[in-house]
Amino acid sequence: MRAASELETRRLNETFATLCAVPSPSRSEGAVAAYVRGELEQIGVEVVEDDAAVLIGGQSGNLLARIGDRGGQSVLFCAHLDTVPHDGAVVPVIVDGGWESQGETILGADNKAAVAVLLELARRATIEGTPVDLELCFTVAEEPGLLGADAFDVSVLRSDVGYVYDHATPIGEIIAASPTHIRWRADIRGRAAHAGVSPEDGRSAITAAARAIAALPDGRIDETSTSNVARIRGGVAGTNVVPEHAQVDGEVRSLEEGRAELMAEAVAEAFQDATNEPGCQCDLDLTIERSFVGYKLADDEPGVIAAKAALEACGYEPTMVASGGGSDANAFRAKGFRCVNLANGTQSPHQPSERVAVAELEAMLNVTFALLDAFGQD
């Protein structure tokens, strides 16, 4: 397929700016889902919404659209509609050739750059056709842990392979490996007492939490693994009370699933030991849950082969890289559906400095067109 025209790139940027201005924090994607549905239905594309909203307690379910009905090869493209929470309205502006937020908010390029690309892909496909059939999936609640993708029924898909654009690195990178991610929460109950009169009658939940945290490795553990204590809450306003309650949240990640499980076991051991120390015995309620499972791509997967061909056709050198983050590709692959995550050229996601160059946004669209060519030549 030919590269994007001037009309298509102008419309792509306009769509992106419109999307960024629509608030869509996780589980509150109703307005942006309505916009996406409206844009697709306006060009004659039927959109089906699943029941993810009910399952995750959100405003919208996942959206699925199909273009083409040859009954032959089909390719899925997926983007998530939600963003991390932020205060204030997003006002997207172009500064030095790239989209930024005018204020102190995020921009929302994660993942609205990909949403805009898929809408422009749909517009061309309905007018000019494509070498293969298309499925477009717009998921919800990706940011809190791939909740929408987890709720999505991949058995309804006609495609054998899919793509997401959800890695904030230069275009050309193919995410060859992604970690297993495990979250944990330790809820500690001790016993309150007067800190000046009878501290020996108390059991400090904060002291127990501190001992556990001190026993845990933190940061980058090795080349494949990380650990983070993210939040601690507890105590009361007065300094004269032995704190009865403390709550600690954290996570572990590793490209090796077994290593992630061992690290989670170490978290459990540290909190169990700390809450059973003489003089500081506390009740412990520890929750450990796996958010998503990691994966490793094989070089000979059809999705990888096509991605390399498309990137090369657009002048990029394909590079297989490992990531410390997850995406909807993790959830789809865990369900047995082959999905590949491609870098999208955005920068600084989840931050006020978030940015995407206009050239990178337009390149993402051209790579998408080239992907269809790659499959059409099979």
pLDDT band at 377 (very low <50, low <70, confident <90, very high): confident
Task: Look at phi and psi of residue 60 and say left if phi exceeds 0, alpha if psi is from -120 to 50, else beta.
Answer: beta
Mean pLDDT rounded to a whole number for the chain: 97
Q: Is 142 helix (H, G, I), strand (E, B) or coil?
A: coil
Tell whether 1 is covered by a domain: no
202 shares its domain with 230: yes
Mark which of 265, 292, 319 sits at the end of a domain. 292
Say what the pLDDT of residue 9 is.
98
166 shares its domain with 88: yes
Burial 274-297 (b: 16+ CB within 10 A, else e): bbeeeebebebebeeeebbbbbeb
pLDDT tens by residue, 105-157: 999 999 999 999 999 999 999 999 999 999 999 999 999 999 999 999 999 99
For residue 378, is pLDDT > 70?
no
**Are 276 and 197 in contact, with CB atoms under 8 Å apart?**
no
- List the domain range (segments joined by +) for residue 185: 180-292
pLDDT tens by residue, 54-70: 999 999 999 999 999 88
Positions marked catalytic = 82, 142
10 shares its domain with 111: yes
Max Cα distance, the chain (Å) = 81
Tell whether 167 is covered by a domain: yes
107 shares its domain with 209: no
Tell whether 256 is covered by a domain: yes
pLDDT band at 72 (very low <50, low <70, confident <90, very high): confident
74 shares its domain with 215: no
119 shares its domain with 216: no
91 shares its domain with 158: yes
**Number of domains comprising the chain:** 2
Residue 301 to residue 298: CA distance in whole angstroms: 6
Mark which of 256, 277, 292 sits at the end of a domain. 292
pLDDT tens by residue, 17-31: 999 999 999 999 999
169 shares its domain with 244: no
Strand partners, 161: 75, 338
Say what the pLDDT of residue 1 is.
66
Q: How many CB atoms lie within 10 A of CB 102?
A: 12
288 shares its domain with 299: no
User: How remote is the C-alpha of 268 from its chain's centroid?
Assistant: 26
24 shares its domain with 37: yes
Mark which of 263, 292, 321 sits at the end of a domain. 292
Tell whether 323 is covered by a domain: yes
62 shares its domain with 38: yes
